[in-house]
Structure 1
Amino acid sequence: MTVRNLDALFRPESVAVIGASERPGSTGAMVWARVLDGGFNGPIWPVNPKYGTLGGRAVTGDAGDLPQAPTVALICTPPDTWPGIIHKLGGLGTRAAIIVGEVRTDDDRLALRHALSAARPHLLRIVGPGSLGVVSPALRAHFGAPSCTVKAGGVAWVSQSNALTNAVLGWAHARGLGFSHVVALGGEADVDAGDVLDYLASDPGTRAILLELDTVRAARKFMSAARAAARNKPVLALRSGRADPADALYTAAFRRAGMVRVDSLDDLLDEIETLGVGRVAAGATATLITSDSGLATLACDAFAAAGGTLAPWPAEAADALKRALPHAVGGNPLQLGDDARPEHFGTALELLAGHRSTGTAFVVHASTHGAPVGEVAQALIANQRFAHRGLLACFFGGVDAATRDALHAQGIPVHTTPQRLARAFARLVDYRMGRELLMQTPEGLPAQIPEAIDAAQAQACAAIAAGEHQLTGEAAAAFLERFGLRGETQEPTQTPATAKGTTQRSAAAQTEPQPEPQTADCAEQATAQSQKPVVDIAVELHDDDNFGPVFCFTAPSADGVSEPLRVYGLPPFNPMLSRDIVLHSRYARLIDPEPALAALTALSQAVCDVKQIVGLSLTLRVFRDHVAVVEPTLSVAPTRSRLAIVPYPRRFEETLDWQGIRITVRPIRPEDEAAHHDFVEAMTPEDLRLRFFGAVGNFDHSQLARMTQIDYDREMALIATVASDEGLTRTLGVVRAVADPDNETAEFAVAVRSDQKGRRLGQLLVDRIIRYARARGIHWLVGEALRENGPMIALARSSGFTMTPTEDPGVVGFRMALDEPAPG
């Protein structure tokens, strides 16, 4: 549905318990008791015609008779009552309801459908049915039937399982850990995992999200929400069922969204400690600090098994530690010795602080007479400020509750074994690497000629019209050739670096120094070797019911012992995303990867541009320096499922004459980062201040990546570009619109190069973003400008916006109702 009114669930001001009861064991009694035990300090209204009072509170007999609309209603009544209750609550203005009861029969399912219909006109959101509830500990809002009261913390828990949610809450409660929010999704009849991720992505109280699920509903919405969340904070996912044939697809989807998949509940629980407590900036390396060689060996083994790398120390760090701690065994790991004192741990942290390359600090310790655990913990607390990249501790045997809570208060996670500590850190590194994958700037591919794409679409449509649902042989080869993919008997395909008719050889091969001339025999051997295939990769595309078109790439075992490689991928790809797939293979070191990257990207483009492709099967024969397509078969049909990730929307491209030059207006692409950097650099400090509402400095890569790598499903940035005489692209202006997840309102902003102002380029761009927003079905387009920004305010007026006041007297707002007919 939408994410509208989800704030009512997470920031409630009042609550009504429909079906509140004092009958022992009843759902109404459990929910009512938990609301009271939680200590929610807003109005609480019990509703039940059987009681006059409950817990000293007056009871309302009917939901329609409540004194005012509750923000959230907890429904504990039988299914046949749900439609009527929802209808009354919606009429009052209630914005969210949690249905605790289960759906078991056909009559129950019918009642649920009627309840959803009753909620829809009021945009009343429903969690459940069969939900354990929603808990927001910072507000003491325990809405549902969780097994215990929940402490406030920095991690959100979102789960499709009530039993697992209760187990996790009990585990965390016993260890003094808390949550920002807890959501038991239940049947997801309305509010689903994608909706909740969308909200939590921008929730300032949530530092990380732990997600447990078996299935994804509405894959496009889920992927869009997950990618938005993972750009802002760690998102870790647990999905059971490794034997499920679809499990590898979920792994690919999680990775593509920037989420980290964990393998077990133990791992997920460890992250409640690491993410909920710690302030760890996970670099790729760390320093181990311990007392003796036995602990050091155990810790090193655990770190290596988790894929970690110990930081190399600069000579100055080693020398400083040797002078301050002469009895310690220097190097990484640092062994303080059997006679180590608590203050020695603090000294080590302080001396390492001046050397950032030493990475995150790991302290692994077992209590000794000279260094009891409690005193070492106090030393860590006193010196925690020196651990610039974070500090994690492992105390064998654990610590007492008071010491644990003191460590937690200073942001120091505590684990019981080196293995758990190392795996928890490794997942933080995985998140950082996945986030960097999302933020990388991919190399560009030459845009396919529109006429070639149109011809491919026409070929597919002609086959369907003729009653043919497969393209094979020469027909399939001709189709793929339009995207630069050729068979073994043809010239190899082209890559971005080898355009203009050259064969698909690597750019590196062209630019590297040429070897000494070979003898005729050596040259013949090298030629024969290059013409021998390295591996055949089976490529299949199928139309998944949920995720839409999905690629599967299968390569045989490289060593004859290990399992064949099977990797799933969700289009669209670009060379950077293709690289992530190719480099999974052990064959990657035997080939120049660029031709394979180009081939995978070209296959993705064919699927994205020709919506009639519903299936594909071929062999990608990979040689050392080129690839060839073998035995392709394409299945075509009039319609197929939507892609889970929206590809580049070519339909918004246009080329036109403007002010005597030829410009192109099109959606922004990741490879525009360099040109966008030049565009921002060309703007005056004053123009930047007016655009960004304050003085701004240089934009780094991550900021520019956010501007150029957008999710077309919810955001659009149209740029005006012109080609220079050298063939480079220069950006003249950009207009951007970001829609809220329910597609109700989009906020827009426009910027023009300072040397292009006064030429009505801003008007041209704003007209097109209005047209785009109307085409998307967005209802309102809004924006803001500093009151002193006269040109922007004049542009908004001339475009048809209505001026509106804002909370800041120095800022002018403007809005346009897009449902109304366009003027003129």
Structure 2
Amino acid sequence: MTVRNLDALFRPKSVAVVGASLRPRSIGAMVWARVLGGGFAGPVWPVNPKYAELNGQAAFGDVRDLPEAPSVALICSPPATWPAIVHKLGKLGTRAAIIIGEVRRGDERDALAQALTAARPYLLRIVGPGSVGVITPALSAQFGAAPFPVKQGGVAWVSQSNALTNAVLGWAHARGLGFSHAIALGDEADVDAGDVLDYLASDPNTRAILLELETVRAARKFMSAARAAARNKPVLALRSGRSDADDALYSSAFQRAGVVRVHSLDDLLDEIETLGVGRVAASSSATLITSDRGVATLAADAFAAAGDALALWPDGAARAVAEALPHLSAARGARQDRALLGNPLGGNPLLLGGDALPEHFGRALQALAPHRDTGTAFVVHAPTHSAPVAEVARVLIENQKFAYRGLLACFFGGVDNATRDALHAQGIPVHTTPQRLARAFARLVDYRLVRELLMQTPEGLPAQVPEAIDAAQAQARSAVAAGQAELSGEAAARFFECFGLTVLRGSPRDAASVHAYEGGVAEGGIVDIRNASGCPDSSATAADDDAKIVDLAIELRDDANFGPVFRFTAPSADGVSAPVCVYSLPPLNPILSRDVVSRSPYARAVCSIEPVLAALTALSQAVCDVKELAGLQVTLRVTRTRAVLVAPRITVAAARSRLAIVPYPRRLEETLDWRGERLTIRPIRPEDEAAHNAFIKSMTADDLRLRFFGAVRGFDHSQLARMTQIDYDREMALIATSEDGNGAVTTLGVVRAIADPDNETAEFAVAVRSDQKGKGLGRLLMTRIIAYARSRGTRWIVGEVLAENAPMIALAKALGFAVARTEDPGVVGLRLALGAGASA
């Protein structure tokens, strides 16, 4: 993945519109009008030899005539002109271009290919072709042909569809909603969804990302970028094409990346309101507050239908509400009071009564504030004479600070624009029906759940490969060398036994149980002898324990986009429904395997699930550790207490696709004695965020300035997460840590390298705690990151340092780096050739 030069696209300082025009209904006229109408504060330059000026702006006949390089160029001219224009822009120093026109014919595809070739030497990034534009409302940068002005908001919109982008922008405009950025990707010839996700992951103005797509162009880059983004903020995706064969695979990939999938445009639009306006914590429950019993019933039904749960109030919450709302306590024994204090849910929904006043809503929020177990506050209100919508909204705004888990509102019949905007300004989302509100909240709960799975980072091989795994690797390589494409029978059994798996020999088609197949028990049907705990009854025999519960069919295929993919298939429990089919991407660990198993109707029939989890994890380990393993087919026979492989078949090949998710590279861990203490050097992990924050805070202001080229006071969670949650592929960060006698781990230094998409060049950066400088730790880390980059086949490792940073420059020279001046007189460039193919 790369975010190279995307800052120019999303934080532009100037713009040129190539092909700007006044001809009615032309692309150039539409784009030019949108740029001017947006009110962009930087220089705006029209380029068209047919005009001396456009709308009072001096026009330029050619890109070469521009006074300076624009940050972004909008290209509205025909495809045949693109290669020459891109070449001139790149030579001038432009870093990003948006191609508005579309490609339809062969000659136009050739022109696009030539334009991409022209852009490459200058690292000029291209959005499109066929893009309706890129919009950054905070800068009034309405760059493109979108038909509606876009307000500023907290949600980013990223889409492969121009038509849907236009529709969503229009929908949001009519409701006073806005975006941090709106990006129409077009044909993704260069900049794709992965690139944009990676940039938005660290964008402080984006609180959530809404993604619409049909396909993923580069799965590994997309997965890495989506995982980085979802660790920081909610990412929701709508994918069209649910009927195609790969849709279940996309659902699995989204879940593994921490992306919440939505299945309707309505749900995605509702999140513009919920996430773009509100600041709602990821609580798993909520309290409904309303005045009317019928409204409460409708809202509770909607909440249940969305899969949400009403909070179970602690006793103190009910008492606090009763004290705050004495008019309800006075009616003890009446119907509405029973809803408050006699309800099995402990007062939830909270009914304020048909004669409730606006201030009663505020008192309820204040009373619930100390009781955080009551969850997110849902105020669902139908206007009454005693509680008009505008007055209730005013009270909600005044008391929002008491809603610890956030506040969402629903006003039947809607609200006027002024009231809606006032609620939005205070971060209170407003929905039109309880159903829409409940579904929107359910997506937040889903995000919390998928994020827990996202944090799982299965480990790769240790530095010293176990002999058994080494034997499996040798067996696969030997088969490939001998021209074998498949291993089965005894050969496949030996291979899987290297990973601790039990394999039944022979053909098990007619066996009803493990013992039956092994000759110990007569054939028969499935027997289920269980006690109240769910485990086999004490009267059951060992044969009963080994009676087959289900045969799980497991297949690994090398997907053209996502690489190695597991498909798990179990027969339906009722014998009538379709089989249960679940996809999953390796690597797996027991927690991720449990998520797969939990979706099977047979999960409850297993007394001990651990053997199944161990088997799935071991199969994943085989896929990760043996690169020649290109496919497999096997039956996992599950009994109450065991899980064994039946009839395994393996496909081997000299090469297969890479894993879409890179496991934590445990092989890079190293422990050594260093200056009288035990030092560990290892790749950084997500759980290192707190220690990394402490590491940065330990550095002096001057050391931070030398490292980050400016004054730095600290970093927020989003920035720290980006530093500690990496993909272990194009980016690697090695940290040096020490542990005190109490087990507390301290980060002493970090070195990282980020490679470009072609693995030609990796840019490095290194930092050491201020109290550890001068001890050689920087050199220790640098030698290891250089060795790592060389092992990946990277040709160059480069960096930039301030010219005053004499110690770093001296270290670079000692390591063989060439030192050269840059365009900035205060910065020097460092460059080291790593391979035979590198040349000056």
The question of whether the paired residues in 1 share the 8 Å contact of 2:461 and 2:625 is answered with no
Tell me how far apart the structure 2 counterparts of residues 545 and 62 of structure 1 sit (CA, whole Å): 43
Q: For residue 578 of structure 1, what is the aligned residue in structure 2?
A: 593
Query: Structure 2 vs 1, CA of residues 432 and 476 (structure 1 numbering), >3 Å: closer, same or farther?
Result: same
Tell me how far apart the structure 1 counterparts of residues 262 and 320 of structure 2 sit (CA, whole Å): 39
Tell me how far apart the structure 2 counterparts of residues 648 and 291 of structure 1 sit (CA, whole Å): 53
Worse-matched range after superposition: 132-141 or 582-591: 582-591
What is the CA-CA distance between 1:133 and the residue it aligns to?
A: 0.6
String of CA shifts for 1:353-397, please: whole Å, max 9, x gaps: 111111110000101111111111111111111111110000011
Q: For residue 235 of structure 2, what is the aligned residue in structure 1?
A: 235
Tell me how far apart the structure 2 counterparts of residues 530 and 461 of structure 1 sit (CA, whole Å): 39
Identity %: 69
Mapping 1:35-434, distance limit 5 Å: 35-328=35-328, 329=337, 330=340, 331-434=347-450
Q: For residue 771 of structure 1, what is the aligned residue in structure 2?
A: 787
Worse-matched range after superposition: 431-440 or 68-77: 431-440
Query: Structure 2 vs 1, CA of residues 474 and 666 (structure 1 numbering), >3 Å: closer, same or farther?
Result: farther
Verify: 1:747 aligned to 2:765, yes or no: yes
Q: For residue 527 of structure 2, what is the aligned residue in structure 1?
A: none
The question of whether the paired residues in 1 share the 8 Å contact of 2:564 and 2:659 is answered with yes
What is the CA-CA distance between 1:683 and the residue it aligns to?
A: 10
Which letter does structure 1 place at the counterpart of 2:584?
G
Tell me how far apart the structure 1 counterparts of residues 582 and 230 of structure 2 sit (CA, whole Å): 22
Verify: 1:475 aligned to 2:491, yes or no: yes
Tell me how far apart the structure 1 counterparts of residues 807 and 623 of structure 2 sit (CA, whole Å): 44
Verify: 1:817 aligned to 2:801, yes or no: no
Tell me how far apart the structure 2 counterparts of residues 407 and 29 of structure 1 sit (CA, whole Å): 37
Verify: 1:537 aligned to 2:552, yes or no: yes
Which letter does structure 1 place at the counterpart of 2:193?
A
What is the CA-CA distance between 1:722 and the residue it aligns to?
A: 11
What is the CA-CA distance between 1:309 and the residue it aligns to?
A: 1.3
Tell me how far apart the structure 1 counterparts of residues 561 and 469 of structure 2 sit (CA, whole Å): 27
What is the CA-CA distance between 1:156 and the residue it aligns to?
A: 0.6
Tell me how far apart the structure 1 counterparts of residues 808 and 734 of structure 2 sit (CA, whole Å): 17
What is the CA-CA distance between 1:818 and the residue it aligns to?
A: 3.0
Matched position secondary structure for 2:252: helix
Which letter does structure 2 place at the counterpart of 1:222?
F
The question of whether the paired residues in 1 share the 8 Å contact of 2:103 and 2:129 is answered with yes
Matched position secondary structure for 2:8: helix
Query: Structure 2 vs 1, CA of residues 708 and 478 (structure 1 numbering), >3 Å: closer, same or farther?
Result: farther
String of CA shifts for 1:749-781, please: whole Å, max 9, x gaps: 457999xx9986665444212322444536325
Which letter does structure 2 place at the counterpart of 1:581?
V
Tell me how far apart the structure 1 counterparts of residues 416 and 475 of structure 2 sit (CA, whole Å): 72
Worse-matched range after superposition: 111-120 or 775-784: 775-784
Q: For residue 625 of structure 1, what is the aligned residue in structure 2?
A: 641
Verify: 1:712 aligned to 2:725, yes or no: no
Task: Give 5+ residue unaligned stretches, structure 2.
Answer: 329-336, 341-346, 507-530, 708-714
Q: For residue 710 of structure 2, what is the aligned residue in structure 1?
A: none
Tell me how far apart the structure 1 counterparts of residues 697 and 293 of structure 2 sit (CA, whole Å): 58
The question of whether the paired residues in 2 share the 8 Å contact of 1:212 and 1:237 is answered with yes
Tell me how far apart the structure 1 counterparts of residues 73 and 311 of structure 2 sit (CA, whole Å): 53
Query: Structure 2 vs 1, CA of residues 261 and 396 (structure 1 numbering), >3 Å: closer, same or farther?
Result: same
Tell me how far apart the structure 2 counterparts of residues 599 and 782 of structure 1 sit (CA, whole Å): 48
Which letter does structure 2 place at the counterpart of 1:384?
Q
Tell me how far apart the structure 1 counterparts of residues 72 and 740 of structure 2 sit (CA, whole Å): 58
Query: Structure 2 vs 1, CA of residues 480 and 447 (structure 1 numbering), >3 Å: closer, same or farther?
Result: farther
The question of whether the paired residues in 2 share the 8 Å contact of 1:654 and 1:666 is answered with yes
Matched position secondary structure for 1:167: helix
Task: Give 5+ residue unaligned stretches, structure 1.
Answer: 491-514, 516-520, 806-811
String of CA shifts for 1:201-248, please: whole Å, max 9, x gaps: 111111111110001011111111111111111111000111111011
Tell me how far apart the structure 1 counterparts of residues 200 and 471 of structure 2 sit (CA, whole Å): 44
Query: Structure 2 vs 1, CA of residues 539 and 814 (structure 1 numbering), >3 Å: closer, same or farther?
Result: farther
Query: Structure 2 vs 1, CA of residues 753 and 590 (structure 1 numbering), >3 Å: closer, same or farther?
Result: farther
Tell me how far apart the structure 2 counterparts of residues 62 and 781 of structure 1 sit (CA, whole Å): 35
Worse-matched range after superposition: 556-565 or 425-434: 556-565
Q: For residue 506 of structure 1, what is the aligned residue in structure 2?
A: none
What is the CA-CA distance between 1:435 and the residue it aligns to?
A: 1.8
Matched position secondary structure for 2:364: helix
Verify: 1:13 aligned to 2:27, yes or no: no
Tell me how far apart the structure 2 counterparts of residues 318 and 298 of structure 1 sit (CA, whole Å): 22
String of CA shifts for 1:520-565, please: whole Å, max 9, x gaps: x976624222111221111001111111111111112234454422
The question of whether the paired residues in 2 share the 8 Å contact of 1:258 and 1:435 is answered with yes
The question of whether the paired residues in 1 share the 8 Å contact of 2:420 and 2:430 is answered with yes
The total of aligned residue pairs comes to 775
Tell me how far apart the structure 1 counterparts of residues 698 and 605 of structure 2 sit (CA, whole Å): 53
String of CA shifts for 1:710-769, please: whole Å, max 9, x gaps: 4212443446799999xx999997644253776642333457999xx9986665444212
The question of whether the paired residues in 1 share the 8 Å contact of 2:732 and 2:752 is answered with yes
Worse-matched range after superposition: 394-403 or 570-579: 570-579
TM-score normalised to structure 1 length: 0.85
Query: Structure 2 vs 1, CA of residues 405 and 661 (structure 1 numbering), >3 Å: closer, same or farther?
Result: closer
Query: Structure 2 vs 1, CA of residues 317 and 616 (structure 1 numbering), >3 Å: closer, same or farther?
Result: same
Tell me how far apart the structure 1 counterparts of residues 738 and 385 of structure 2 sit (CA, whole Å): 74
What is the CA-CA distance between 1:40 and the residue it aligns to?
A: 1.3
The question of whether the paired residues in 1 share the 8 Å contact of 2:698 and 2:770 is answered with no
Tell me how far apart the structure 1 counterparts of residues 726 and 2 of structure 2 sit (CA, whole Å): 20
String of CA shifts for 1:305-340, please: whole Å, max 9, x gaps: 111111121212211211221344420110000111
Matched position secondary structure for 1:154: strand
Tell me how far apart the structure 2 counterparts of residues 418 and 18 of structure 1 sit (CA, whole Å): 48
What is the CA-CA distance between 1:110 and the residue it aligns to?
A: 0.5
Worse-matched range after superposition: 570-579 or 539-548: 570-579
Q: For residue 517 of structure 2, what is the aligned residue in structure 1?
A: none
The question of whether the paired residues in 2 share the 8 Å contact of 1:679 and 1:753 is answered with no
The question of whether the paired residues in 2 share the 8 Å contact of 1:3 and 1:741 is answered with no
Verify: 1:568 aligned to 2:583, yes or no: yes
The question of whether the paired residues in 2 share the 8 Å contact of 1:734 and 1:751 is answered with yes
Matched position secondary structure for 2:503: coil
String of CA shifts for 1:556-589, please: whole Å, max 9, x gaps: 2234454422111111112222222122223222
Tell me how far apart the structure 2 counterparts of residues 565 and 29 of structure 1 sit (CA, whole Å): 54
Tell me how far apart the structure 1 counterparts of residues 595 and 808 of structure 2 sit (CA, whole Å): 43
Matched position secondary structure for 1:779: strand
Query: Structure 2 vs 1, CA of residues 270 and 99 (structure 1 numbering), >3 Å: closer, same or farther?
Result: same
Tell me how far apart the structure 1 counterparts of residues 496 and 625 of structure 2 sit (CA, whole Å): 12
Tell me how far apart the structure 1 counterparts of residues 18 and 547 of structure 2 sit (CA, whole Å): 73
Q: Which of the numbers 466, 469, 480 marks the counterpart of 1:453? A: 469
Matched position secondary structure for 1:349: helix
The question of whether the paired residues in 1 share the 8 Å contact of 2:546 and 2:642 is answered with no
Q: Which of the numbers 798, 819, 822 marks the counterpart of 1:780? A: 798
